[in-house]
Amino acid sequence: MAADLSRPDERSAVLESSPIVDILVTNAGGPPAIPYPDINIALWHRALELNFLSAVDLIQGVLPGMIERRFGRIVNVTSVAVKKPVEHLELSTASRMALTGYVASVSRQVAKFNVTINNLLPGTIFTNRLRELGPVAEKMIEEVPAGRAGTPEEFGAACAFLCGSSVSFLVGQNLVIDGGLNRSTL
């Protein structure tokens, strides 16, 4: 089913079409890179709807069934920018940080039902989004200790890991996949 998940009515249609969901991966395209003085309230609303509220709505839609079946895996694709903000990506960073906070709380409430919610934080994965960032992306790639951007296949393997049935003790975490770009120890 094709749907614009930034629209509440289309999210509802998706949830109605899939009554039994064991694995949910949320992933929305990022808002445009815009200098902070040029960001208006309409852009904030769009970013929050796209990167925060759409994920929350889908998560809340599938959690009751997962809890009842005593199994569920939810992975939200956010961004390494929640740990290392990038200039001109304030819309993306702030809306994804809101999702990070939501997951930190809710994941711990549903873990006892064998339902895990974690975030996957890509940094420099060679996708269309990275290409769209142009010079910002080039600068990011230059700083990657691995010396390159990651591949979609590497990213997919990390996501599959978080969705596995044996990963029931990984709860509310933020797995960074960026070739070492984020230099924090925690």
pLDDT, one tens digit per residue, over 112-154 is: 999 999 999 998 899 887 788 788 788 879 999 999 999 999 9
- Residue where the block lists tokens 């930190």: 104
**What average pLDDT is seen over the chain?**
93
Give the residue among 72, 57, 77, 82 at the shortest CA–CA distance from 109. 72
- Range 19-177 has CATH code 3.40.50.720: yes
